[in-house]
Amino acid sequence: MEAFLFFTCGALMLLGGVMMVLQRSAVVAALWLVFAFIAAAGVFAALSAPFVAIMQVLVYAGAIMVLFLFVIMMLHGPVLDGERKRLPLPMWPAVAIPPLAVLVLVGGWLSGRKAEALPAAPEGFGAPAQIANLLLGRYLLAFELISIVLLVALIGALTLGLRERKLPWS
């Protein structure tokens, strides 16, 4: 059951990613990315990590992608017209990624059938309590450093955005 969920969601996630790259309209591409994120949440759920799965939907699909869409819509996101046939050169390596990913998935599925002896997740695995203990205990330093990086990025973006205006303290 879990293997079935994992591979279905994995395939859907790949589909979302491929469709996103193929879209001509930036808005539709962003919506396919939302689809891929939700499928990724399904993968996490199948790996008995329900908290991460819900976080994926809440943060990525619910908040970050809305901000993406917001910006794309405000800037009248680009819609490619139908003339271009050939991909520009730097895009070519990217084309190889989806087939490779499909290969990995199929390979995993085939080998997963044989390997039955996957150990079951321990009691309380992926529960909020365990994640909190790890984040605010063992990995506290990394957790705080990441918050500082995000804060610096936020202030940096604000400063860049305010460049044109006269700053109140200058």
Residues that bind another protein (CB under 8 A): 25, 27-28, 31, 34, 50-51, 54-55, 57-58, 61-63, 65-67, 69-70, 73-74, 127-128
Shortest separation between residue 57's beta carbon and another protein, angstroms: 4
Q: Which lies closer to another protein via its Cβ, residue 1 or residue 89?
A: 1
With beta carbons less than 8 A apart as the criterion, state whether 44 and 2 touch: no
Q: Which lies closer to another protein via its Cβ, residue 71 or residue 87?
A: 71
Q: Which lies closer to another protein via its Cβ, residue 107 or residue 128?
A: 128
First-to-last C-alpha distance (Å) of the chain: 62
Q: Which lies closer to another protein via its Cβ, residue 21 or residue 54?
A: 54
With beta carbons less than 8 A apart as the criterion, state whether 109 and 7 touch: yes
Residue 61: partners with Cβ closer than 8 Å, 6 or more residues away: 34, 37, 38, 41
Shortest separation between residue 118's beta carbon and another protein, angstroms: 21
Task: Return the closest-CA partner of residue 6 out of 112, 96, 117, 98.
Answer: 112
Shortest separation between residue 31's beta carbon and another protein, angstroms: 7
Q: Which two tokens stand for residue 16?
A: 């979302």
Shortest separation between residue 63's beta carbon and another protein, angstroms: 6
